[in-house]
Structure formats: structure tokens, C-alpha cells
């Protein structure tokens, strides 16, 4: 008799892959408000460390938000409200882009890539989309412009009007 595995819903499949992607990132828990009124604050200074750690592992901001349990709006509100989180975001962006740049560089050099225990090969179309939409990479555009100049003689009367 063959035992069938239960079919997973799309959300269950996504949560498993999300757990794999965010494995090893230590996310701080919510802290109670000092006066005890309202829901606990999700922001704490440890979020800065967690964000930088997420950059070290190549996680996107969306993956970080999902792991922490906040929306993108809350994430950007934290950047506006907490200077230390804004600074951590700058460090995160550099580390995350460096992670993906190293991945691409190693792939170009033929160095085997292991991510979350799996050997990977890059999909060029996906890489280009990700670079442009997540890392804000742009195609280099060289623009040449020639400007023509024309020398015009100005009479003393016209020169007096200009001055």
C-alpha cells in the first residue's frame, strides 16, 4: 500500500522555502511598551543588528520584514523614526549587494556556489531582473553630445543694452 503525502497549500510551500531562506538569522522578539499599554513594540535596537545580519546572508528587505513580522511601510517608518536603523539600513544595503555581487562574480569564474546546502547555477534573466529591481543596478549608458558654437559680433549699442 502506497502512502500519499498530504498536499500542501501554496502558503505552506512558501513558508517552508521562506524558513530555509531566513535560516540562521536571529530576529529579536517584540518588547513590551514601558507603560504596559497597547501592543508590544516590535522595534528594538537589536533590530539593527538583525538587519545587518540579514544583509550578510543576502536576504532581501521583504524577507527581513516577513521574518520580523512587519510590513514594508513599517520598515520604512523605522528608517524615518530611528537614526540608528537608518544607518543599519545603509550597512545592510551594502552587505546585501556585496553578497549578490560575490555570487555573480564566483559564477562567472566558474566557482561552485552552495547556498542553503544546494549547488546553484544562476538564471541570467532572473539575475538581471533582481539586480535592476532589488539592488538598483542600472545599465551603463554613454551619451555623446556635440554643441555647436557660433560667434556673433555685437555692436557697441547692443553691448550697452546687455550690460
**Is 47 inside a domain boundary?**
yes
9-28 mean pLDDT: 49
Residue 48 in this model has a pLDDT that exceeds 50: yes
**Is 39 inside a domain boundary?**
yes
**Is 10 inside a domain boundary?**
no
d(CA 61, CA 136): 13
Q: Higher-confidence residue: 40 or 54?
A: 54
d(CA 156, CA 23): 79
Q: Higher-confidence residue: 4 or 84?
A: 84
d(CA 121, CA 19): 21
What is the reported pTM? 0.58
* pLDDT at residue number 16: 42
* pLDDT at residue number 11: 45
36 to 31, 32, 41, 133: CA distances (angstroms): 10, 6, 10, 41
pLDDT digits (tens, 9 = 90+) for 147-163: 777 777 878 888 787 76
Per mean pLDDT, which of 69-78, 116-125, 140-149 is the most reliable? 69-78
**Is 32 inside a domain boundary?**
yes
Q: How many domains does the chain have?
A: 1
* pLDDT at residue number 102: 85
119 pairs with which residues across the strands?
114
**Angle at CA 31, nearest 5°, toward 56 and 49?**
15
pLDDT digits (tens, 9 = 90+) for 58-103: 899 999 999 888 889 989 999 999 999 999 999 999 999 898 888 8
**Is 58 inside a domain boundary?**
yes
Q: Is residue 118 classed as helix, strand or coil in its secondary structure?
A: strand
**Is 87 inside a domain boundary?**
yes
**Is 71 inside a domain boundary?**
yes
Helix-, strand-, coil-residue percentages of the chain, each rounded to 5:
50, 5, 45
**Is 45 inside a domain boundary?**
yes
Residues spanned by the domain of 58: 17-99
Residue 21 in this model has a pLDDT that exceeds 90: no
> Phi then psi for 119, rounded to 5 degrees?
-75, 135
With residue 19 as reference, give the H or E element that holds it: helix 10-21
d(CA 135, CA 63): 14
Amino acid at each position: 500500500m502506497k502512502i500519499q503525502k498530504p498536499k500542501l497549500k501554496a502558503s505552506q510551500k512558501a513558508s517552508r522555502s521562506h524558513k530555509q531562506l531566513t535560516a540562521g538569522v536571529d530576529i529579536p522578539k517584540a518588547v513590551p511598551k514601558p507603560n504596559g499599554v497597547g501592543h508590544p513594540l516590535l522595534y528594538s535596537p537589536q533590530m539593527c543588528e538583525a538587519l545587518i545580519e540579514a544583509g550578510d546572508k543576502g536576504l532581501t528587505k521583504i524577507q527581513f520584514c516577513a521574518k520580523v513580522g512587519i510590513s514594508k511601510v513599517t520598515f520604512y517608518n523605522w528608517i524615518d523614526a530611528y537614526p540608528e536603523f537608518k544607518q543599519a539600513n545603509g550597512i545592510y544595503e551594502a552587505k546585501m549587494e556585496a553578497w549578490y555581487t560575490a555570487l555573480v562574480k564566483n559564477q562567472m569564474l566558474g566557482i561552485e556556489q552552495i547556498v542553503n546546502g544546494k549547488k546553484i547555477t544562476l538564471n541570467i534573466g532572473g539575475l538581471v531582473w533582481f539586480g535592476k529591481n532589488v539592488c538598483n543596478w542600472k545599465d551603463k549608458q554613454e551619451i555623446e553630445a556635440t554643441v555647436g558654437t557660433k560667434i556673433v559680433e555685437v555692436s557697441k549699442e547692443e553691448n550697452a543694452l546687455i550690460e
